[in-house]
């Protein structure tokens, strides 16, 4: 085998893909060092699954290139397929078969002998705590168990690089935490992982590096701390119960914050980055709102979350539900203000 141990496990340059006039990917760049976890964070429709499908050879890109373990996903697709595992958004398991049969079958597809396939299946069932349910049809499994089985299936071939497309979407909180534990143990074994998610806390929890994508473009990249740092210090948050006074509140505090205030029209929550001037800004905000005669509730100062990062970067929340055609994009709209000379 060629020695490809030096480059990144995944390298993506200028990747583009359109479906008709939908530009799903508009020139994505990624680099994932071996043995690390990249979190690809973005809302519904951002282009996450399209990127994963190209990287796993299921879809051809229009432009740019992508290498997995140094091999081109288009020209060397067969070799790429041998080194990867994919656990997708829609489970790839056969519902009529038992968990054990599913894994044994996949082992056979990987050209393991029957005894090898059997022992690999038993090992994975044990690792994923599915031994008790191993001989029941997969259709009787809970959502969390089906996800675990699907993930186990992607590991039968002992992939060097694993792609998980929204591994916890639709799972209840407990199953989600279970999945996080499993993902952490995989990473501890040295597997390189690319994980897509819509959940900021998931990226925060699991990823070494995070790439934020929106509308087919990378809009920010870095560690969770890097990204939080971009919000510029602490965040001040309060609620304006009288929705009619929101605009007054925003203009009253316009000169206090650093950057834009973000407004959630539905809940009346306004948040604003205040840099390192937390307590000072808190007092100024109280005075300014009092001066403007705007009543507020629940004024608090907190560390920025990845949600604030997403808002700061895009002007809309990451986890907002998909809106049909008429779309109220930007449930939380950003109130742009004149920021001339406002950088600290």
Ligand X SMILES: Nc1ncnc2c1ncn2[C@@H]1O[C@H](COP(=O)(O)OP(=O)(O)O)[C@@H](O)[C@H]1O
Chain contacts with ligand X (rule: CB under 6 A):
19, 22, 24, 42, 44-50
- The phi and psi torsions of 127 (rounded to 5 degrees) equal -60, -35
- When asked if residue 49 is in the footprint of Mg ion (CB under 5 A), the reply is yes
* Partner from Mg ion, ligand X, none binding residue 46, C-beta < 5-8 Å depending on class: ligand X
In this structure, are residues 15 and 65 in contact, taking their beta carbons and an 8 Å threshold?
A: yes
Stretch that binds Mg ion, among 14-22, 40-48, 59-67, 263-271 (CB under 5 A): 40-48
Q: Which is nearer to ligand X, 166 or 234 (CB)?
A: 166
Q: Which of 19, 59, 79 is nearest to 165 (CA)?
A: 59
Residue 34 makes CB contacts below 8 A (sequence gap 6+) with: 5, 8, 9, 190, 192
Q: Looking at beta carbons only, is 238 or 310 nearer to Mg ion?
A: 310
Nearest to 49 by CA among 102, 89, 98: 89
Q: Residue 41 or residue 121: which is nearer to ligand X going by CB?
A: 41
We find the least distance from the C-beta atom of residue 19 to ligand X, in angstroms, to be: 3
Output 133 or 212, the one with its CB closest to ligand X.
Answer: 212
Rounded alpha-carbon distances, angstroms, from residue 229 to 67, 225, 275, 300, 336: 31, 6, 9, 19, 20
> In the bound complex, what is the minimum distance in angstroms from residue 157's beta carbon to ligand X?
24
Cβ atoms 249, 331 nearer than 8 A: no
Task: Decide: helix, strand or coil at residue 305.
Answer: coil
Closest alpha carbon to 234 in 269, 259, 217: 259
56 touches Mg ion (CB under 5 A)? no
> 45 touches which of Mg ion, ligand X, none (CB within 5 to 8 A by kind)?
ligand X
Single out the segment in contact with Mg ion by CB under 5 A; choices: 46-54, 231-239, 289-297, 298-306: 46-54
Least separation, in Å, of the C-beta of 207 and ligand X?
Answer: 16
Beta-carbon contacts of residue 291 (< 8 Å; ≥ 6 apart): 252
Residue 114: name its binding partner from Mg ion, ligand X, none (Cβ under 5 to 8 Å by kind): none
Nearer to Mg ion, 39 or 273 (CB): 39
Facing residues of 65 across strands? Answer: 13
232 binds, among ligand X, Mg ion, none (CB under 5 to 8 A by kind): none
Q: Which does 50 bind (CB under 5 to 8 A by kind): ligand X, Mg ion, none?
A: ligand X
Q: What is the smallest separation between the CB atom of 203 and ligand X, expressed in angstroms?
A: 13
* Residue 236 · residue 281 · CB < 8 Å: yes
Q: Minimum Å distance from CB 331 to ligand X?
A: 17
Applying CB under 5 A, the residues found at the interface with Mg ion are 48-49
């Amino acid at each position: 085998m060629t020695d490809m141990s030096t480059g990144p496990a995944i390298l993506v340059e200028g990747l583009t893909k359109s479906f008709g006039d939908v530009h799903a990917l508009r020139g994505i760049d990624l680099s994932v060092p071996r043995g690390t976890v990249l979190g690809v964070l973005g809302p519904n429709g951002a282009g996450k699954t399209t990127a994963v499908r190209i990287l796993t050879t299921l879809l051809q890109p229009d432009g740019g290139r992508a290498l997995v373990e140094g091999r081109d996903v288009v020209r060397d697709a067969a070799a790429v397929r041998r080194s990867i595992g994919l656990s997708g958004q829609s489970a790839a398991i056969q519902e009529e078969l038992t968990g054990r049969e599913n894994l044994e079958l996949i082992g056979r597809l990987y050209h393991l002998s029957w005894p090898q396939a059997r022992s690999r299946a038993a090992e994975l069932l044990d690792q994923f705590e599915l031994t008790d349910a191993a001989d029941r049809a997969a259709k009787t499994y809970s959502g969390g168990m089906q996800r675990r089985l699907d993930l186990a299936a992607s590991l039968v071939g002992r992939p060097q690089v694993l792609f998980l497309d929204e591994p916890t979407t639709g799972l209840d909180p407990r199953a989600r935490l279970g999945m996080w534990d499993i993902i952490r143990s995989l990473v501890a074994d040295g597997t390189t992982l690319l994980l897509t998610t819509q959940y900021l806390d998931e990226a925060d929890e699991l990823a070494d590096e995070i790439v934020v994508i929106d509308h087919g473009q990378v809009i920010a990249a870095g560690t969770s701390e890097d990204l939080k740092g971009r919000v510029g210090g602490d965040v001040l948050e309060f609620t304006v119960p009288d929705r009619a006074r929101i605009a007054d509140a925003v203009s009253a505090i316009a000169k206090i914050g650093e950057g834009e205030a973000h407004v959630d029209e539905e809940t009346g929550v306004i948040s604003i980055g205040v840099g390192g001037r937390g307590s000072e800004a808190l007092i100024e905000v109280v005075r300014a709102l009092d001066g403007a005669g705007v009543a507020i509730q629940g004024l608090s100062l907190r560390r920025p979350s990845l949600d604030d990062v997403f808002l700061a970067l895009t002007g809309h929340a990451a986890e907002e539900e998909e809106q049909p055609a008429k779309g109220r994009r930007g449930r939380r709209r950003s109130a742009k203000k004149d920021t001339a000379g406002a950088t600290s």
